[in-house]
Structure 1
Amino acid sequence: MSFYTSITGLKASQTSLDVISHNLANAETTGFKKSGTQFADVITGSSYDNPRMTTGIGVTVEAIRQNFTLGPIEQTGSALDMAITGNGFFTTRSEQTGNTLYTRNGSFNVDGGGFISDGSGNRLQVFPVDATGAVTSTATLADAHIPATNAAGAAFAGATVDTQGEVTATYADGTNTVIGVVSLADFVSPTGLKQVGSSNWEATGLSGTASYGQPGADQYGGLLSGALERSNVDTTEELVGLITAQRNFQANAKAIDTATQIGQTIINLRT
């Protein structure tokens, strides 16, 4: 029995090492959120067993839980770089699959078609506005699109985003046009979001459906333009956890070695 108990300990320690290694590898990934491993003991027995004689049979990984604490904010100076100072996720739409994605990585640029998109081509989602720049609907999302020219035929010159999420396009004739307001998403249980890579998440039954709102309103954080949120991985903390996981692995390996020696001793006594 001790062999199997120690093997569960080895597997649990290996999982912990894998999670910590993933955190360390993404210490410089914009918008990355670290994860932590949670363990639970495994008990064997039935309702007829004496509770004073309960025997444990090892450990299991109960969950790998994501940590959504705010990471350090880094100034970049790029007008379309955005950082959320509080709760919420940027909402993007994959042009290839049509899937809705959520991210804390606010590094956006204007692509060749005039759409504001991330490095993977996912288009930023905004609330539509009227001619005065007022939001017309918070139940509808649209791709953030900047026309190449305005009504007067002036060429696009640049874009800015303010703390309230208004995306303003500037044209060569000096006129400004609000094309939309950045839509932020929030969830009842963000730890239930599914990681899909590139600092993106998808909603699941565990996270609940997204609720949308404007930056700075209700539970949604504000926006900082010209800044990005860095990874929330604390390298020192992860290295300490790495040493702890290594020690746990060595201890379980030693337990297997001890059980082997005891078994060998018993065999020698019989011979």
Structure 2
Amino acid sequence: MSFLTSLSGLKAAQSDLSVVSNNIANSNSTGFKKSRAQFGDLFAASPTQTTKMIAGQGVQLQGITQQFTQGTLESTDRTLDLAVAGEGFFTVKSPSSTAAITYTRNGSFSVNNTREVVDATGNIIQMLPVNADGEITSSNSADLTSLVLPETDPNDPNAVLANISVGTNGVITATYSNGNQQALGSLAMASFVAVEGLRPVGDAHWQATGTSGLAALSQAGTGPLGTVRSGSLETANIDITEELVSLIAAQRNFQANAQAIETANNMTQTIVNLQV
């Protein structure tokens, strides 16, 4: 029994090591959110047995939870490098036929050859419509539009796009060579009732699940969504010192369980030799 108990400890320590290693490996990944392994004890007894005379059965992995704490914002001076100071997520859409919607904290955006503003994986950033005052007119997901930079002023074909800016409320404003300005839309910021229930799909992107609930879309600066910082990127919320301490603790736990298995094996061998 002690062998199986220690074996469960080895498996748990291995899972803990894997989680910590993944955190450390992604310490330089933009928008990455660290994870933590959670464990629970195993205990089994029949209704007629007294629990005072029964030892536990070991440990089991209850789950790996993501920690959506704020990462550090680093300045880049690029207009399309965006960071969220708050709890919101950028909404992006896949360019493939599935048009899948995902959510990200990685705000490293650029312009592709069709003038769409995309992230590092080619997903197109999504906007909500705004009025003349820069206030959103709809928060319905059916009204999402892709951010495509115009070439010229819609009211003056001779005036080309000179500049774009992104406000702290997520409103994207185009400035043309004739001095005119046009609000293209507002970044669609998403929040979730249970953010830990989001399903990670890689590259600091997540999908909504039944556990997380549907995304609530709104404008930056609303409630806990936070504000948008143009010219900045959010680094991974990793404290290397903390992760190294966790790594050492997991390693010691693994070694202790391995030693317990070796001890149990030696005791069993001694008993066998006595019987012989």
Q: TM-score range by the shorter chain?
A: over 0.9
Correspondence for 2:43: 43
Deviates more, 1:239-248 or 1:113-122: 113-122
Superposition deviation, residue 130 in structure 1: 4.1
Superposition deviation, residue 155 in structure 1: 2.1
1:191 matched to 2:196: yes
Correspondence for 2:215: 210
Q: Give the secondary structure class of the aligned counterpart of 2:229.
A: strand
Change (3 A) 1:171 1:230: same
Correspondence for 1:144: 147
Q: Give the secondary structure class of the aligned counterpart of 2:225.
A: coil
1:179 matched to 2:184: yes
Check conservation: 1:31, 1:103, Cα contact below 8 A: yes
Instruction: Note the alpha carbon deviations across 1:173-209, whole angstroms, 9 max, x for none.
Output: 2322111001110001111100000100000111111
Instruction: Note the alpha carbon deviations across 1:47-89, whole angstroms, 9 max, x for none.
Output: 2221212321110000101001101110110011111111110
Correspondence for 2:91: 91
Check conservation: 1:192, 1:204, Cα contact below 8 A: yes
Alignment of 1:74-89 (within 5 A): 74-89=74-89
Change (3 A) 1:36 1:101: same
Q: Give the secondary structure class of the aligned counterpart of 1:14.
A: helix
Distance (whole Å) between structure 2 residues aligned to residue 135 and residue 189 of structure 1: 25
Q: Which runs of 5+ in 2 are unaligned?
A: none
Distance (whole Å) between structure 1 residues aligned to residue 119 and residue 9 of structure 2: 41
**TM-score of the pair, normalised by structure 1:** 0.97
Distance (whole Å) between structure 2 residues aligned to residue 55 and residue 117 of structure 1: 56
* Amino acid corresponding to residue 119 of structure 1 in structure 2: A
Deviates more, 1:131-140 or 1:51-60: 131-140
Superposition deviation, residue 169 in structure 1: 1.5
Q: Which runs of 5+ in 1 are unaligned?
A: none
Check conservation: 2:6, 2:261, Cα contact below 8 A: yes
Distance (whole Å) between structure 1 residues aligned to residue 233 and residue 152 of structure 2: 29
Check conservation: 2:136, 2:219, Cα contact below 8 A: no
Check conservation: 1:133, 1:179, Cα contact below 8 A: no
Correspondence for 1:30: 30
Check conservation: 1:45, 1:55, Cα contact below 8 A: no
**TM-score of the pair, normalised by structure 2:** 0.95
Identity of aligned residues (%): 47
Q: Give the secondary structure class of the aligned counterpart of 2:193.
A: coil
Check conservation: 1:70, 1:232, Cα contact below 8 A: yes
Correspondence for 1:225: 230
Instruction: Note the alpha carbon deviations across 1:199-232, whole angstroms, 9 max, x for none.
Output: 0000011111111111111222111111111000
Superposition deviation, residue 134 in structure 1: 4.1
Superposition deviation, residue 15 in structure 1: 0.4
2:250 aligned to which of 231, 240, 245: 245
Q: Give the secondary structure class of the aligned counterpart of 2:99.
A: coil
Instruction: Note the alpha carbon deviations across 1:153-180, whole angstroms, 9 max, x for none.
Output: 2222232101111101222323221110
Q: Give the secondary structure class of the aligned counterpart of 1:155.
A: strand
